[in-house]
Amino acid sequence: MKPLLEKQLSLYFEAASAASTIATTADLSERRKAIDAFWRLYYGPLVVVENTVVSGAMKSFGNCLNGVDECDKDEMSDRSLSLATRLQDSMLNSWNMKPEDFTKDKFKYE
């Protein structure tokens, strides 16, 4: 489990960083990079390690980005904070899991 948990930790921090940059930066170049990073994580690496709660928080934040939800700066910031909290909870809950438990609370994409 150690390599998987280390990767989860890395990806979770990367997702939190991308979301917080999107929500707070005035630098358009940095924001664009963060948006690209967010979608890269959303459609790939994060799926391997996230639970359903993190998946929902990523989707909620993504809905601000793609215009499904109308979000002002405050709403974007709130969703970024919510995502970071869900990432933290998931990470802490994963530390004592066995491999068979780790896969139980995952969204299955078909």
The answer to whether position 109 is within a domain reads no
Report the C-alpha gap between 15 and 2 in whole angstroms.
Answer: 20
Per the structure, the count of domains in the chain is: 1
pTM, two decimals, is: 0.92
Residue 28 clears pLDDT 90, i.e. is over it:
yes
Collapse the DSSP code of 106 into the 3-class scheme (helix H, G, I; strand E, B; otherwise coil) and give the result.
coil
pLDDT digits (tens, 9 = 90+) for 73-100: 999 999 999 999 999 999 998 888 888 8
**In terms of residue numbers, what domain contains 55?**
2-102
Report the C-alpha gap between 68 and 82 in whole angstroms.
Answer: 18
Report the C-alpha gap between 27 and 6 in whole angstroms.
Answer: 31
The answer to whether position 67 is within a domain reads yes
Report the C-alpha gap between 60 and 58 in whole angstroms.
Answer: 5
List the end-to-end C-alpha distance of the chain, in Å, as a whole number. 25
Classify each residue of 57-75 as buried b or exposed e, where b means 16 or more C-beta atoms within 10 Å of its C-beta. Answer: bbebbbebbeeeeebeeee
The answer to whether position 84 is within a domain reads yes
The answer to whether position 110 is within a domain reads no
The answer to whether position 18 is within a domain reads yes
The answer to whether position 34 is within a domain reads yes
The answer to whether position 31 is within a domain reads yes
Residue 107 clears pLDDT 80, i.e. is over it:
no
Report the C-alpha gap between 17 and 39 in whole angstroms.
Answer: 13
Of 7-16, 18-27, 73-82, 96-105, where does mean pLDDT reach its minimum?
Answer: 96-105
